Amino acid sequence: MFAQLQFKRWACFLPLIAVSLSIASCTADSRSTKTVSLIGAGASFPAPLYQRWIADYNQRNPNVEINYQSLGSSVGVQQLIDGTVDFAASDIGITREQAAKVKRGVIALPMTAGSVVLAYNLPEITTVLKLSRQAYTGIFLGKITNWNDPQIALTNRGVKLPNLAIKVVHRSDGSGTTSVLTQHLSAINPEWKSKVGAGRYIQWPAGIGAKGNEGVTAQIQQIPGAIGYVEYVYATNNKLPVAALENKSGNYIIPTLESVAQTLEAVKLPNNSLIAFIADPKNANSYPIVTYTWLLTYKQYQNSVKAQALKNFVNWAVTEGQISSKELGYIPLSKKVVVQVQSAAKNIDK
């Protein structure tokens, strides 16, 4: 009788014990989940957005740790070739010659887009400065050296331009942003094309160098009369004024989400590479210097967990993550491009 009472007493607690065991089991499973670490490096152009994405994604997926270093597109591509990173980022994608050196294969995925702007340090100018194609190519060629030059005054009537030397600030490192700008300058100015050309590294006719979008931004801030090229977000975050640039139709366009989106509408990404550029857009309302920026992954990963973690991150970034693109001043991907990226990312494998 005593034994039966004891059994009944314990039986009352069996459901609680079962629940406790279940909770303990879940906790143990959670604690045993291995952390996945992904290392990436490359373009400074999308770095503010990538850092935002990484932080937001880690909050939702604490077992996925992603480290991204803003070192420039050239460094990112080289580290992908060397196999020292899990992914890279580049504002010019990757060339066929570079891709051939990646032993595990490479996939280029456009993740967002943005504009390259000409930011300047002229506190006394309170209106938006308008720069003609002749004026801004002349500045970078070192032929226009003062802010009150007639070529600048011609498009800024009524603006009291200072008698101040122009200080050009350019990238000192291998840069996708430089490539985007110089492709545009080569497309619109025969002298630039023949004497300087386009590329990640060029011999600048004038100015001082700085590393990354971060470095160029800092130099512009510190030097009165400075002008340089940076990604739009760096200028806006640091409250630097940016010029309205003359486009192919002769209109002066301020970089905005709308004017950059107008440019992207003309960019058709081929399904086999998802890499394309437009050096001099025709649309009357297009801002003239715009680019996608690409995440570069291997086709084959030695670790299937890393491969799946990267695929999951890419899918999140091109869907939920696009909200942050717009918030930070980048251009969200169109629905068509999102589908292209998701399709290409399926080829990431072990």
Taking only the tens place, the pLDDT of each residue in 65-102 is 999 999 999 999 999 999 999 999 999 999 999 999 99
Q: Between residues 297 and 272, which one has the greater pLDDT?
A: 297
Q: Are 225 and 168 in contact (CB under 8 A)?
A: no
| Other beta carbons within 10 Å of 264 | 23
Enter the pTM of the model. Answer: 0.86
Q: Between residues 350 and 264, which one has the greater pLDDT?
A: 264
Q: Are 216 and 228 in contact (CB under 8 A)?
A: yes
The confidence score (pLDDT) of residue 16 equals 33
Nearest CA to 336 out of 259, 264, 287 is that of: 264
Work out the mean pLDDT of the chain and round it to a whole number.
90
The confidence score (pLDDT) of residue 262 equals 85
Question: What is the percent of the chain with per-residue pLDDT over 90, rounded to a whole number?
Answer: 85
CATH code given to domain 115-264:
3.40.190.10
**Confidence at 33, pLDDT banded by 50, 70, 90:** low
Least confident interval from 126-135, 227-236, 255-264: 255-264
Residues in the chain: 350
Q: Are 340 and 65 in contact (CB under 8 A)?
A: no
The confidence score (pLDDT) of residue 149 equals 98
Q: Between residues 29 and 265, which one has the greater pLDDT?
A: 265
CATH 3.40.50.300 fits 35-112+291-345, yes or no: no
Domain borders along the chain are 35-112+291-345, 115-264
**How do residues 272-293 score in pLDDT, each as one tens digit?**
999 999 999 999 999 999 999 9
Longest dimension (CA), the chain: 110
The confidence score (pLDDT) of residue 333 equals 95
Nearest CA to 330 out of 226, 220, 225, 213 is that of: 213
For residue 164, what are the contacts with CB-CB under 8 A and spacing of at least 6?
A: 122, 146, 147, 148, 224, 225
The confidence score (pLDDT) of residue 266 equals 84
Equal fold, 35-112+291-345 vs 115-264: yes
The confidence score (pLDDT) of residue 265 equals 86
* pLDDT at 346 > cutoff 50: yes
Give the Cα separation of 174 and 124 in Å (integer): 33
For residue 36, what are the contacts with CB-CB under 8 A and spacing of at least 6?
A: 63, 64, 65, 305, 306, 309
* pLDDT at 23 > cutoff 70: no
* pLDDT at 323 > cutoff 50: yes
**How do residues 119-157 score in pLDDT, each as one tens digit?**
999 999 999 999 999 999 999 999 999 999 999 999 999
